[in-house]
Amino acid sequence: MRKSELEGFMMTQLRGARLDNGLKRQYRFHPPRKWMFDFAWPKHKIALEVEGGTWTGGRHTSGKGFMNDCEKYNHATIMGWKVLRVVTNWIVDSKGNFKGEALSYVEWLFQREGINKP
């Protein structure tokens, strides 16, 4: 499954849970480095990263890709961002059915931060 499809499934789940208020896709949080988050709620400094290719040797699992991700996420943390990282199996199952595990992490973080849905 392509990452863009996976992000589409995630977006559908976020909309269904009414968590799309203030949500930005492909949000550039670090202009000098041009780093972006797949999903971000800038007002709350919360980001959601969809990590594709977990079992297929994708970019995130190579040595260089992992190292680059560590640098990006460390900068985000230092800048005050809370970053959730989710994998394919938490968004959809092998048949393309919604799983909801990724969504539950977002809902939990919003609850912990005292952020109400619109």
Domain-embedded: residue 7: no
What CATH number has the domain bearing residue 46?
3.40.960.10
Residue-level pLDDT at 95: 84
- How far is C-alpha 32 from the chain's CA centre? 21
pLDDT of 71 over the 90 cut: yes
Burial class (CB in 10 A: 0-12, 13-18, 19+), 63: exposed
Higher pLDDT, 31 or 82: 82
Buried b (16+ CB within 10 A) or exposed e, 24-38: beeeebeeeeebbbb
Residue-level pLDDT at 102: 96
Number of domains in the chain: 1
pTM metric for this prediction = 0.88
Residue-level pLDDT at 96: 82
Three-state secondary-structure class, residue 85: strand
Give residue 88's domain range: 15-112
Residue-level pLDDT at 66: 86
